[in-house]
Amino acid sequence: MNLADETRMTTGSFWNDTGKTGISAWIFSTDHKRIGLLYFWSVLGFFLVGVVLGVLLRIELMAPGRTIMGPQTYNALFTVHGVVMIFLFIIPGFQGSFGNMVMPIQIGARDVSFPRLNLFSWWLYITGAAVILTSLFTGGGPPDTGWTFYVPFSARTGTNVSLAVFGVFMIGFSSILTGVNFVTTIHRLRAEGMTWGRLPLFVWSLYATAWVQILATPILGITLVLILAERLLGTGLFDPGRGGDPVMYQHLFWIYSHPAVYIMILPAMGVVSDIIPVFSRKPIFGYKMIAFSSIAIAAFGSLVWGHHMYTSGMSDTAILVFSFLTFIVAIPSAIKVFNWVSTLYRGSISLEAPMLFALSFILLFSIGGLSGLILGAAATDIHVHDTHFVVGHFHYVIFGGSGFAFFAAMHYWLPKFYGRRYAEKPAVVAWALMFVGFNVMYFTMQVLGMKGMPRRYYDYLPEFATLNLVATVGSWILVSGLMLMLHNLFRGLFQGVTFEGNPWGGATLEWSIPTPPPTENFTEEPVVTHGPYDFKGAGIP
């Protein structure tokens, strides 16, 4: 960040607006762009930690038996991989980084409604993250429960679950605060002429996500407090030996954690909805339906948590209802996919890096979504429950979906904030490597799951050896692409050629202001006269 500070060339940009220097210009700044970048670098750091852990897991699974670690280490690693990726990377990822950086500009505001609260939520996040990291090295060692912290094991294991759960609890509060802040901002700080029908779809998706954060995250908080009560006070709420019920824990956990999946994917859909029209040179097809489907996904997505528990002991009626609702969620998701594809139709498509990532989002998310229907149908779910199929499905949706959209957003928006461009060709090569590596790895995992390879086992039967080796090789291809992408992107952002104006030809407000953006975004009060994808109205050729 400091390095970047020195490379700022435009006076008046937010890079050189504070009297402070060094880290305090960042960690005490209430500017949404600085907080956004703080979030960005934090979540990216944790993402890389998660990647390293994931690669280690894949290496362990490269061959049957013990390869590089024993079962306990494996349990700890997949738990920490999950906790870091879910709670430290992808849940705060979009809202915190690109949400903060871009959303206020897109609606024509100078900042969010509560800038100090915004900074506080980053502090909560980073403190929670520090607590989680501390839990890895203290007490009984890193948690080994899986990121879901299922009871009764999480109530009994000697590992440092309490501290990790407390860290996640803090991050939950950070998430709620960001949600409240964004909802208020979107309601109150829209510029003159920025009607609800002219909100960029990224903002719509953040709005839907913010409501999920506000409504669902408190339940996670309560659930985590109950785990702490179970561990520290021995309340017996989840212990059948004392009249409790472990299935109740699963209900409470998934009432939050399934909507949380939509916290992860909705903003990604927003990013893709913003990128596709720009690189197709065509207004988005079905604006209203995409905006509405974000809300519909947020609403229905809150009612499907039971599909994680078909094998945990539920009535057949409940299974039927949850299965039905799960299929309902597929409808707004499919609406989005069809609208994106319709936008591409007869568009003047330019395949630059952000677009390539956005297009691969559509494909990978569709594969993940369709495999989700296999899991959402009770009969097939029982066959593949707790197998690698679930792991493959989840990574298709969250990594292939949200992750790739995050990379798309990085290539699309970061140059705007740094005022420098990256080299296009290495970005495309990196994308290709990642796309190939991703599919080799996770598609193979889905096949493995169909064949019966369970998840969360450090060892497996010899018949799974070949496919596991293939998946591990895929992970290496994926990671080499990732390294190339990051190297190219950040080299460009710090040392690349500078640019002014609107490199992609976007019609949303962030492209109408100087690059990098000035401190308060707009030199004069913006008045919005056209829609976010009305390229003609914005005077873009």
Residues in contact with other proteins by the rule CB under 8 A:
109-110, 152, 156, 180, 183-184, 187-191, 211, 214-215, 218, 222, 229, 233-237, 239-246, 248, 313, 519-520, 522, 524-525
Q: Which is nearer to other proteins, 63 or 215 (CB)?
A: 215
What is the Cα 432 distance to its own chain's centre? 21
Q: Which is nearer to other proteins, 248 or 321 (CB)?
A: 248
To other proteins, the closest distance from the beta carbon of 236 in angstroms equals: 5
Instruction: Name the H helices within 377-403.
Output: 378-384, 388-395
To other proteins, the closest distance from the beta carbon of 252 in angstroms equals: 8
The single-letter DSSP state of residue 284 is P
Q: Which is nearer to other proteins, 244 or 376 (CB)?
A: 244
Q: Which is nearer to other proteins, 386 or 520 (CB)?
A: 520
Q: Which is nearer to other proteins, 119 or 129 (CB)?
A: 119
To other proteins, the closest distance from the beta carbon of 228 in angstroms equals: 12
Quick check: 311 and 382 in contact, CB under 8 A?
Answer: yes
CA distance 302 to 283: 31
The single-letter DSSP state of residue 305 is G
Which tokens hold the place of 485?
């992408």
To other proteins, the closest distance from the beta carbon of 104 in angstroms equals: 12
CA distance 226 to 185: 33
To other proteins, the closest distance from the beta carbon of 533 in angstroms equals: 22
Q: Which is nearer to other proteins, 240 or 501 (CB)?
A: 240
Angle at 32 between CA 28 and CA 33, to 5 degrees: 100
Quick check: 164 and 143 in contact, CB under 8 A?
Answer: yes
CA distance 478 to 433: 6
To other proteins, the closest distance from the beta carbon of 114 in angstroms equals: 13
User: Does a cis peptide bond (omega within 30 degrees of 0) precede residue 259?
Assistant: no
Quick check: 332 and 299 in contact, CB under 8 A?
Answer: no
To other proteins, the closest distance from the beta carbon of 233 in angstroms equals: 5
Quick check: 492 and 422 in contact, CB under 8 A?
Answer: yes
To other proteins, the closest distance from the beta carbon of 61 in angstroms equals: 27
Q: Which is nearer to other proteins, 185 or 360 (CB)?
A: 185
Strand partners, 518: 13
Q: Which is nearer to other proteins, 244 or 437 (CB)?
A: 244
Quick check: 361 and 405 in contact, CB under 8 A?
Answer: yes
Instruction: Name the H helices within 61-160.
Output: 71-83, 91-92, 100-106, 115-137, 153-156
Quick check: 150 and 136 in contact, CB under 8 A?
Answer: no
Q: Which is nearer to other proteins, 109 or 484 (CB)?
A: 109
To other proteins, the closest distance from the beta carbon of 154 in angstroms equals: 14
The single-letter DSSP state of residue 191 is P
- Label residues 125-139 b or e (16+ Cβ within 10 Å = b): bbebbebbbebbeeb
CA distance 124 to 177: 10
